[in-house]
A and B are shown apart, each in its own frame.
Chain A
Amino acid sequence: EVFLPEEPRPAAPVDFLQELPSYQSALRRRAAAGGTQERRAAPQGSAGLRAAEARGPEQEGGELAARPAREYPLTIAEKRRLRDCQQADIKYISGWKQWKRTSSKSLKKVLSEVRELFSYLELWRRDIHSIEGKFGTGIQSYFSFLRFLVLLNFIIFILMFSFVTLPSIISEYGIFNSSFAKISPKNIEPHCTVYKPSGNMGLVYFYTYLKDLLSGTGFLEVTSLFYGYYTIDAACLSILRYNLPLAYLLATFAYLALSLLWIIKRSVEGFKQNLVHDEDQFQSYCNKVFAGWDFCITDPHAARLKHRSLQYELQTDLEEERLKRKIADRTMKEKLRIYSLRIFINIIVIAVLSGCFYSIYRATVFSQENSNVSIGHDDVGNTNFQANLLVQYLPSIVITLANFIAPQIFSFLIRFEDYSPAFEIRLTLMRCVFVRLANIGVLLFSLWSQISYCATDECKACGYNYELYPCWESEVGQEMYKLMIFDFIIILAGTLFVDFPRKLLVTHCSCKPVQWCGLQEFGISDNVLEIIYGQTICWIGTFFSPLLPAIATIKYFFIFYIKKISLIHTCKPAARPIRASSSNFFFLVVLLIGLVLAFIPLGISIAHIPSSKACGPFRSFNTSWAVVPDTVLGFPTGLQQVLHGIASEAFAVPFFMVICLIMFYFIALAGAHKRVVEQLREQLVMVRFDPLFCTPKV
């Protein structure tokens, strides 16, 4: 009401009054008379309807795209009148504009119907909708995140399969008259190239099959699951030559880039609001009060829970504000005490972390030494089977234990550090994330130290320990495969042997301690960290085992149903729900951290560690990366010079400086926008006292 006088007022005669915002806006309005006023007049209900009718015949020069009647907040009767009036004034416009208007309307209709059709094809749409209705949007965001990971893994699998596995299989079996070229590597010591995987050795005991299936050795090692299968240099289809090593490397870069772009695209949608406004968007009171009630709730029981959770949230926020004020009033002595306590606790945290890392290192070393020793003992008998499997899975077991124990310790310790509750939660989560992702890094590091440990001269000639690891990429692939299988087994076992018995116990046993324990709540952050851990393993492992994304897709597919069943039958809704908007952003940030952390081991493997000479597509190269410079040398000289120029310092440094300048420009622009918003706010306050603008409120 304050903004829209119907006619522009006459200009103020006195000089200083020209500074008033009202005069400025009156000037602007006179300049822009026509077009945009129809839009602003519309949302005012029936008054707007009359205004729209009055302006209808003047639309010729104005905007062509009138809003469809659906977008006006009027009752149906009034919308009918509006639509009739819109139809009526179509006659005032020329034939061409008429056709344009009707065709754009029908196009919009068609587009919205197509979009609706696509939404029916979404995977698990109904399941997620029902979960949202019963348990709230925080838990629903976990399941949509899971669905996103299933799709991501499926796309990665399609990528690797079509560019790497399919050509290999086609050329190996000679389909379509294809053949493959195996170039024996030159300048390599012959002892480096000896690789005899123990494939299918005829009649063996059944448990050997099981052991091979669970640990990726034996018959599984020679399949296309692992790196060692792709020991061809080129696939030839009549005259076309398909450079497999280059394709392998580029497919790896492609899936990493694809994951990065997709995650960034998803997280930008949640982040856009933050850049221009400086309030803490996700915690704001208005968001909780105006958008707090979930209109999807149909069950009175769920409604009661929602009331309670809203009450709890509002009370915690108010409490936190009071706490912040108290913290600001702390004396010097208290601050000193608290900071020294925090430093001490952080030292304990670091000690716990080092303990975890060291135990993982020792477990990996032990497992590698003992599983290699027992290679020759296939015929010993049943008794060694379990022990052997245990040794193989030792690193996975230790990592899972560390992932379970460390968060408990962290949540115990953080109570002493006296942070505000929201910060406590965030800090504990960050520490847990770090533990989980760093554990994988430590495992890989200990593997590498085993692989590159070289005592003899012959070994140094190969660059890696050729006796124990003739095909070390397959070994790493096997470790990742074991981690993934074990992760899945743990999730399954956790649901079967912990959740369901707990539910049975709580329903049938009425003794005090059991009832006090109660049903478990669905811990969103723990579950999310679990699946992000699995996804990081998949990203790292896909280079060494190209079919791993398929296993990951199937694994997450089953996890969806397992978690859904466990949620519906054994969990009670959380008393303190996490907000969906902040959770989505948090999940994607942690996933991004996992991806970036996955770049590091892959980068080191590809560029630094010599590739194995006995197997794989990179036999004839020093490192896996070396295939790229090699291919570049095969290009015409002009192109080569351009590429060399791009990679040289003379190009990189100015490029980097230009990027920095562009970034500073955007930061300055955002700052300027913020200042403009502030100024507009102040103007709005002033407008209230502006005599020219004070229309009496109707």
Chain B
Amino acid sequence: AYKRFSELLPKEERENACSVRVPKSQILTLPELRANPFQHRICRVFSTSDSGDDSMSFEDFLDMLSVFSDSATSDIKSHYAFRIFDFDDDGTLDRKDLEKLVNCLTGQGKESRLSNAEMEQLIRNILEESDIDKDGTINLSEFQHVVSRSPDFTRYGGLQR
């Protein structure tokens, strides 16, 4: 993992890889993140940089790899998945978050988005299934609950070695 991290840095800074922060543009060149529609959210969630520029240190990089590895428990994966899906960082998944989530999943182009009626129907179904206290948003416990019953979550949540 250290090797991969140091490859992201320009040559001069490789000696100091443990303490340097890699800018976001470099992180996004990683093969695992390149094709991922949630790449920006992942960088935002794992980055501990104070300046808000989403750069990642080696420790952040390790965090990210350990969460996505096969040996992470599903508790951890669901916790981080919740944070990744929470686009406005308010601690709950409301309608706008869900809309952005579905648009990320179906693709970026205009023709790959669902129509408004379909989106409404879909969001209504999702909330019906997962919103237990019927407040119109999904909080962490509800998310973890619905994801624990989801058979595909553990399968899809891992990165290749």
A residues sitting closer than 8 Å to B (CB atoms) are 1-3, 43, 70-73, 75-77, 112, 129, 133, 137, 270, 273, 277, 279, 281-282, 284-287, 289-300, 302-304, 307-308, 310-311, 314-315, 318, 321, 579-581, 681, 684-685, 687-688
Contact = CB atoms under 8 A, between A and B. Distances in A.
A215 to B, nearest CB: 45
Contact of B155 (A73, A137, A299, A685): A137
B9 interface: no
Contacts of B71: 112
B48 A295 contact: no
A298 B31 contact: yes
Given A277-B149, A286-B129, A304 B59 contact: no
Nearest to A296: B160
B37 A293 contact: yes
Given A1-B139, A314-B102, 8 more contacts: A76-B63, A281-B151, A289-B122, A292-B152, A293-B36, A296-B159, A297-B35, A318-B122
A72 B85 CA distance: 19
B25 interface: no
A300 to B, nearest CB: 5
A315 B35 CA distance: 23
Interface string B108-122: 100010100010011
24 contacts: A2-B133, A43-B140, A71-B73, A75-B60, A279-B129, A285-B122, A289-B101, A289-B126, A290-B81, A293-B37, A297-B35, A297-B36, A298-B160, A303-B37, A307-B106, A311-B107, A315-B114, A321-B121, A579-B152, A581-B151, A581-B152, A681-B132, A684-B132, A688-B135
Contacts of A294: 156
B118 to A, nearest CB: 5
Interface in B44-102: 48, 59-60, 62-63, 66-68, 71-73, 75-76, 79-81, 85, 98, 101-102
A46 to B, nearest CB: 12
B160 A311 contact: no
B3 interface: no
Nearest to A698: B91
B59 A77 contact: yes
B134 interface: yes
Contacts, number: 157
B29 to A, nearest CB: 12
Interface size class of B (residues with CB under 8 A): 35 or more
B122 A290 contact: no
A308 B111 CA distance: 10
Given A290-B146, A311-B107, A314-B106, A71 B76 contact: yes
A282 B151 contact: yes
A297 B73 CA distance: 21
B147 interface: yes
A133 B155 CA distance: 12
A311 B133 contact: no
A294 B156 CA distance: 5
A246 B59 CA distance: 65
The 7 closest A-B pairs by CB, nearest first: A307-B107, A303-B35, A581-B151, A73-B79, A311-B106, A291-B153, A291-B152
B112 A43 contact: no
A343 to B, nearest CB: 34
